[in-house]
Amino acid sequence: MALIRGAKRIYEWLRERSRGELHAYATVLGVSGWSKISLKTYLGKNKLAPFLAPAGDETLRIVLDGSEISEVYFHEVFTQSSPRRVTLSAGDSLLGKATSYKLVEPLGQGAVGHVWSARREGGQIKMVALKVMLPREGMFLGSRLADVRERFRQEAANGMKISHPNVVQYLDHGEVDRNPWLAMELGRPSAGARLKTDGVLTEEEANYVISCCLLGIGHLHSIGGPHRDIKPDNILEFEDTYKVGDLGIVKWSDFDPTFTRGGTVTRASMQLGSWFYMAPEQQEDAHDAIPASDVYALGVTWIELLSGNVPSPQAVGARAYKTPSASDGVNKLIAAMLAYRPEDRPSLTDIRAVLDGR
């Protein structure tokens, strides 16, 4: 893989630019050596969409800071090259950066990826969950596939730096025919799956789940990374605890500026977060998600754990949802967590104090 001619010159030029800068077409043409027709064609075909955006009067706006653009990412977007479709089967072996993995059985699939249980060669953890990027056919344009691959790479690189008893541990990553995959701890079914099979949780059980989440979310916040997708399906049960999982849209950039801005690479290709759990500010713009946005999502999650229902944003705003708890203190706390203004929501420490009876 190598960039050539104008594409290479543009990549090197972009690496020295800052987000928000405005540059005339003439500047870009002078750097690249392209004709104006070629530049407009590349813009029209989204070959430069994550990096340059039309700003009117033959002016272009820089979308990403140069430090956020890797050559691999630029190459994949500009060439719009797609990974080869692969079919996974039990018994297939995948080689990661640390060791190899043998697929055991499928655990589920979504629009973007398939999740398998897999047997790990060596190490104390023998069974893992392995998430492979295999988007549904026709789900994304060529340029957006590169965005999703970049998001997978970020999730792997950043997730492996986190170690906390209430955050799912990332163990390894690799690619199969240019389809990236991630290996992580294998837990029991999620709290969301448990709701579907066993029904609502008791007050004590729900409070314990929330307590575990407060610790995991608190750790992510301590390193500047709002999760942005807290919900029962992303809370995994382990032997003696619950852990926050699915770090795919964590706002990583807040603690390391060399990572692509959280949300930027997928803003136009997928919704960042789950609508009914999203705080008002996150519904307006996923880039506006802050730690208090996770508090809101945790409040909606708490309601679902206790009642089995997810109130709509309209019901939350009108305070028209049914109070889920037999405890007035818990109901008041949840209502505060669902406040419209982020500054009116309690902190994670405040929530823990109520749960601990202080």
Q: What is the pLDDT of residues 204-230, one digit of tens each?
A: 999 999 999 999 999 999 988 888 889
CA distance 23 to 245: 41
| Predicted structure pTM score | 0.74
pLDDT of 259 > 50? The answer is no
Average pLDDT (285-292) is 81
pLDDT of 331 > 60? The answer is yes
- What's phi and psi for 158, nearest 5 deg? -80, -40
First to last CA, the chain: 59
The β-bridge partners of 244 are: 167, 235
Predicted pLDDT of residue 346: 97
Predicted pLDDT of residue 124: 78
Average pLDDT (137-149) is 59
256 confidence band (pLDDT: 50, 70, 90): very low
Predicted pLDDT of residue 270: 38
Six token digits for residue 263: 């949300």
pLDDT of 269 > 50? The answer is no
